[in-house]
Amino acid sequence: MTEREAREAIADDDRLLRRIRDQPEKMWTKKGGVLRPSSAALKPHQADGGLSVDVRRLLADPRSPGSVLDDDRDDGLVEFEARRPRDAGLDVEHAPLQSRYSHANIVGFERFDRAGQKRVRRELAKQAVWVQTPASAAAGAG
Amino acid sequence: MTTATIDYVTSDFASGATVAPRKVSQYVDVTQRIRDRLDQLRELPGGWDHEQAKPIDPDALRLAWTAAEQFLRARLPEPELFPVPDGGVQLEWRAGPVELELEIEPGARAVVFVCDDEQSGQQIDGELPRDESRFGLALARLNAHA
């Protein structure tokens, strides 16, 4: 393993990025005039063993977080500090992929029962800050 | 495999100003929007989230329709519907300071809910059918502000 492939420690103040799909999958909502990702967008894939995110500091250009959206620039992008999931009882692990060095997983959801997992996802969704709003939301839909 | 059902709607909720559809024409419009949205979710292919999301499960879609229709008849607001990456469906309601999320897992094997009342600061969470009385409380809170 090269030095570049080594796993890095993720600090509490590292910002984690998560894609929020737009149309037609629409994974965001506007409640009380506030645009927010649905907690459904923060459900981990069983196969991944965690919720897939990107560590902004580890991007090729951290000033251009939209680069994680690849080919679908209409999607939204939210971020939250690594301390948020940790404070909720989860862990954050750097899990670099060959094509995505910044990739990380939020793990530990299985420590909670179903309702507890859903509560954690809802709180993360409420704490998330938009880096880029979904195109259809910016256009006034929803 | 056990299959969850939703049958917790009673008719004795407090009435009040509501965004729920009162007229037949409104009811038809809302139910059509819900059908259209469920049809949209039904068409999602695997990997719809650019990761490993599964197609939305037919049983979850059926139960989502049942729940949405029941709650509309009980004068609750129109829900928003979202796909869940594991193939489930999520319904979300907001009325005043109350928000309720109901997640139906694929195969309708479990139904989980979380509810926040921002006014009282109370959180009402649980899983059906185990926490039926708590779910009734969450619905009552939502309905009181609908």
ipTM beyond 0.95? no
Cα B13 to Cα B137: distance, rounded to the nearest angstrom: 10
- What are the angstrom distances between the C-alpha of B92 and each of A39, B14, B103? 10, 20, 9
The identity of residue A117, as a single letter, is: Q
Q: Is A70 on the interface with B (CB under 8 A)?
A: yes
Tens of pLDDT, residues A51-104? 999 999 999 999 999 999 987 889 999 999 999 999 999 999 999 999 899 999
Q: Is A45 in contact with B84 (Cβ distance < 8 A)?
A: no
Q: Is A29 on the interface with B (CB under 8 A)?
A: yes
pLDDT of residue B5: 62
Q: Identify the bridge partners of residue A78 per DSSP, sorted by sequence position.
A: A18, A130
Using 50, 70 and 90 to split pLDDT, how confident is the model at A3? very low
Note down pLDDT in tens along chain B; length 146 residues.
556 666 554 443 333 333 455 577 777 889 999 999 999 999 999 999 888 899 999 999 999 999 999 999 888 999 999 999 999 999 999 999 999 999 999 998 899 999 999 999 999 999 999 999 999 999 999 999 98
Residues B95, B31 contacting (CB under 8 angstroms): no
DSSP letter string, B26-52:
HHHHHHHHHHHHHHHHHTPPTTTTSSS
Query: Where is A117: in which H helix or E strand?
Result: helix A114-127
Q: Is B131 in contact with A115 (Cβ distance < 8 A)?
A: yes
Place of tokens 């996802």: A121
pLDDT of residue A102: 97
Work out the minimum CA distance from A21 to partner chain B, whole angstroms. Answer: 7
Give the global pTM.
Answer: 0.87
Residues B93, B75 contacting (CB under 8 angstroms): no
Q: Identify the bridge partners of residue A81 per DSSP, sorted by sequence position.
A: A15
The nearest alpha carbon in chain A to B52 belongs to A45
Phi, psi (degrees; rounded to nearest 5) at A38 = -70, 145
Identify how many contiguous H helices and E strands chain B contains and give both numbers.
3, 5
Cα B82 to Cα B37: distance, rounded to the nearest angstrom: 9
